[in-house]
Amino acid sequence: MTLDTRAEAGTGPASAAWPIRLDGVSVTYPNGTAALRDVSLTIEAGEMVSVVGLSGSGKSTLIRTLNGLVPVTSGTVTVGPHTVTGLSGRRLRQVRGHVGMIFQGFNLATRVDVYRNTLVGRFAQAGALRGFLGVPTAHDRDVTLAALDMVGMLDKVWTRAGSLSGGQQQRVAIARALSQEPSIMLADEPVASLDPPTAHAVMGELERINADHHLTVLVNLHLMDLARQYTHRMIGLRGGEVVYDGPAAEATEADFEQIYGRRIRPQDRLGGRT
Amino acid sequence: MTPGTTAEPATRSELPPRPRTWPRRTLIVSALAAFTVATCLPAIGGVEIDLGAIAQNWRRGAANLSALLQPNWAFVPRTVQPMLETLQMAFVGAAIAAALSVPLTLWAARPTNPHTPSRLAVRAVINVIRAVPDLVWATILVAMVGVGALPGLLTLVLFDVGIVVKLVSEAIDSADHPYLEAARAGGATQHQMNRGLALPQNLPLFANQWLYALELNVRISAILGIVGAGGIGRLLDERFGFFAYGDVSVIILEILVVVLIIEAASHLLRRRLA
């Protein structure tokens, strides 16, 4: 399985962005918690969208329905030409291969070097035999190294991931997602474990991915200023329901109070760059 | 504390009552004590322990002890070959077990094998292997494949696989593996995740138990010969049969020295792994 949009070696991953569509999506966990209630959304290809809400609002669940990490209870999720709902096995892995994801906790194997952590992004493209033996192609290697170069981590390629700083680990995680040559980039609270300057650097990286590679970027945030500053459209979630959907820059304090369900507090802003 | 205009209460918050645990603790301790005493009462089917035997047989015991305290150093050259056989069995057994333990461990742990029936099947086999004591394995295998180093080697492999798979798979079960979620989100197969991430990430756990297995092997293989499974134990059994206590004490001292050397070496190696 190869992508048709092959970048020349060195210029890095490139592929066509995908739209995202949710139709009446509800998720109820086995313990009875209703995490999403009848959510319908359309995100155009190439949009940069934030999903804002407090913890427990359902934003982590929402982002995980898009790559099937969380199965929906009812409704339909569509990414690009694929309906994620009901997919499993090889076909689900193929769709996941086109959807990059980064996490709050970076989710790197700490005792494994940066190169092998980043190479994980190429796993979905591996043929049966190479996948079984774990042998990457020369092309896999080129794409991986180009992705690391793009986030400025090429000089750390043989370093153990666990010995890097938080910001560096998140950059490696971004490189891992980019090496998938994805059509959609998902980010679940990507800066919640980082200090303010590093958080701005990582958000800037996501902004650049959206602008330079024209990827659809969906980022979960709980801080209002980050959402306003880095994303164009904002979706507010509260109690598993969409309570705001509109331009991020123009969202008022009242809109945020509606999303949070309480008054604005100082900790709702990160501060730093304006 | 000043009774102020602030919202905080002026008095200290009430200390919750400490839970009463001593009646329960006393009950458990006295139950254990009563059970222990009961097992030593022959009248109600307990074991019969005749401490008087120590006093009655002290003269024979003292004679044997003094014989053991006079090692027959001239016997040393005859022990070299069997001791080498013991060490070979220990090393080869640990190496074969190490190779077998990798796939079995990954199949026996939930994060690396979400498929419950196959995981339970592997665990059941490992538990059966572990439930049979090493000397019983050796006796069975001697009956099956004949006297010599081979049944000893097979016993050590079974014993080591049981230990390594159980300890490492439980360690993998109890740890968090966020990197596996990231790889799953990127479309990796379980095999790719295990091979590319879980194995290198958990290699220090494996290495630690492999070295521990080697230590145990040297100790166990010294006595396996008693049931005919090769090594220094066979010589020990033979000299004991001839009441050659001077030779026996040389063998015991040699086992002691070799075990101490292996343990010291393995301790050094393990500290470097940590």
User: CATH number of the domain that B129 lies in?
Assistant: 1.10.3720.10
Instruction: Enter the DSSP assignment of B10.
Output: S
Give me the pLDDT at residue A12, please.
41
A186 and A101 Cβ atoms separated by less than 8 Å: yes
The minimum CA-CA distance between B6 and chain A, rounded to whole Å, is 19
Q: A85: domain range?
A: 17-98+186-264
pLDDT the model gives residue A134: 80
Residues A181, A179: Cα–Cα separation, whole Å: 5
Q: A223 and A90: one domain?
A: yes
Q: Is residue A23 part of a domain?
A: yes
**Type of residue at B263:** E
Q: What's the total number of domains in chain B? A: 1
All residues at 6 or more sequence positions from A138 whose CB lies less than 8 Å from its CB, including other chains: none
- Asked if residue A4 is part of any domain, the answer here is no
Tokens standing for A165? 């700083």
Q: How far is B222 from chain A (nearest CA, A)?
A: 37
Nearest to A123 among B178, B179, B196 (CB): B196
Separation of CA B66 from chain center: 33
Residue with tokens 């006595």: B223
Q: What is the mean pLDDT of chain A?
A: 85
Distance from C-alpha of A41 to C-alpha of A237, rounded to nearest angstrom: 12
CATH number at residue A41: 3.40.50.300
Residue B258 lies inside a defined structural domain of this protein: yes
Q: What is residue B134's predicted lDDT score, i.e. its pLDDT?
A: 87
Interface of A with B in 119-148 (CB under 8 A): 119-121, 123-124, 126, 131-132, 134
pLDDT tier, A15 (very low <50, low <70, confident <90, very high otherwise): low
Residue A40: partners with Cβ closer than 8 Å, 6 or more residues away: A22, A23, A24, A25, A75, A242
Is residue A125 one of the residues assigned to a domain? yes
Q: What is the spatial distance between Cα B153 and Cα B243, in angstroms, rounded to a whole number?
A: 28
Which residue in chain A has the smallest CA separation from B185?
A96
Buried-exposed string A226-245: b where 16+ CB fall within 10 A, e elsewhere:
bbbbbbebbbbbbebebbbe
The DSSP code sequence of B92-147 is HHHHHHHHHHHHHHHHHSTTT---HHHHHHHHHHHHHHHHS-HHHHHHHHHHHH-S
pTM attached to this predicted model: 0.80
Please give the pLDDT value at position A3.
39
Dist CA A109 CA B172 (whole Å): 13
Whose structure tokens read 């070959």? B81
Amino acid at B230: G
Whether A193 and A175 map to the same domain: the answer is no
pLDDT band at B3; cut points 50, 70, 90:
very low
pLDDT of residue A2: 40
pLDDT, tens only, A122-159: 888 887 788 788 888 888 899 999 999 988 889 998 99
* Beta bridge partner(s), residue A237: A242
Question: Can you read off the two tokens belonging to residue B156?
Answer: 């050590």
Residue B209 in domain: yes
Same-domain pairing of A68 and A201 = yes
Tokens of B194: 């295990």
Rounded mean pLDDT, B194-220: 90
Other CB atoms within 10 Å distance of the CB of residue A64: 20
Q: Pick from A181, A212, A144: which is nearest to A6 by CA?
A: A181
Distance from CA of B267 to the nearest CA of A (A): 21
Based on the fold, state whether residues A134 and A231 are members of the same structural domain: no
> Which helix (H) or strand (E) is B54 found in, with range?
helix B52-56
Rounded to whole angstroms, the Cα distance separating B259 from B242 reads 25
State ipTM: 0.85
Question: A145 and A249 share a domain?
Answer: no
- Relative orientation angle of helices B76-108 and B199-224, to the nearest 10 degrees: 140
The confidence score (pLDDT) of residue A126 equals 81
Can you give the pLDDT at residue A11? 39
Among A104, A122, A105, CA closest to A182: A122
Task: Enter the DSSP assignment of A250.
Answer: T
Is residue A269 domain-resident? no
Q: Are strands A74-79 and A20-28 parallel, antiparallel or unpaired?
A: antiparallel
Residue B171, domain member (yes or no): yes
Rounded to an integer, the average pLDDT of A183-212 is: 89
Q: What is the pLDDT of residue A145?
A: 92
Higher pLDDT, B188 or A86: B188
Question: Do residue A22 and residue A94 come from a single domain?
Answer: yes
Task: Return the percentage of chain A with pLDDT > 90, whole number.
Answer: 32
* Best mutation target, B102, B115, B181, B189, to test chain A (most A CBs within 10 A): B189
Residue A230 resides in a domain: yes
**Quick check: A263 contacting B, CB < 8 Å?**
no
What residue type is A118 in one-letter code? T
A168 and A223 co-located in one domain: no
Domains identified in chain A, total number: 2
Specify the pLDDT at position B18.
Answer: 86
| Rounded-to-integer distance, Cα A169 and Cα B214, Å | 37
Q: Is residue A241 part of a domain?
A: yes
Q: First and final CA of chain B: distance in angstroms? A: 50
Whether A190 contacts chain B with CB within 8 A = no
Do A91 and A116 have their domain in common? no
Q: Which 3 state secondary structure label does DSSP give A70? A: coil
In a domain, B37, yes or no: no
Q: Is the predicted pLDDT of residue A58 greater than 60, yes or no?
A: yes
SS3 A13: coil
**What is the 3-state composition of chain B as percent helix, strand, coil, each rounded to the nearest 5?**
75, 0, 25
Query: Is a pLDDT exceeding 80 seen at residue A240?
Result: yes
Distance CA B87, CA B11 (A): 72
Asked whether residue A223 falls in the same domain as residue A246, the answer is yes
Strands (E), A162-263: 184-188, 216-221, 233-238, 241-247
CA distance A140 to A116: 11
Question: Which of A98, A99, A111 is the best residue to mutate to test the B interface, defined by the most B CB atoms within 10 Å of its own CB?
Answer: A111
Residue B75, φ and ψ in degrees, nearest 5: -80, -15
CB contact under 8 A, A96 and B184: yes
- Name the token pair of B94: 């640990």
**Is residue B66, in this structure, part of any structural domain at all?**
no
Domain housing B131: 72-273
Same domain for A82 and A112? no
Please tell me the predicted confidence (pLDDT) of residue B8: 52
To the nearest 10 degrees (0 to 180), the angle between helices B149-174 and B76-108 is 40
Chain A CB contacts of B192 below 8 Å: 120, 123, 126, 131, 134
8 A C-beta contact, residue A144 and residue A154: no
Nearest-Cα distance to chain A for B72, in Å, is 52
Q: Mapping DSSP to helix (H, G, I), strand (E, B) and coil, where does residue A218 land? A: strand
The answer to whether residues A198 and A240 belong to one domain is yes
Examine the domain organization and report whether A44 and A174 are in the same domain.
no
The least confident of A26-30, A47-51, B221-225, B235-239 is B221-225
- The verdict on residue A274 lying in a domain is no
Residue A243 has pLDDT above 80, yes or no: yes
pLDDT at B274: 66
Measured in whole angstroms, how far is the alpha carbon of residue A188 from the centre of its chain?
Answer: 6
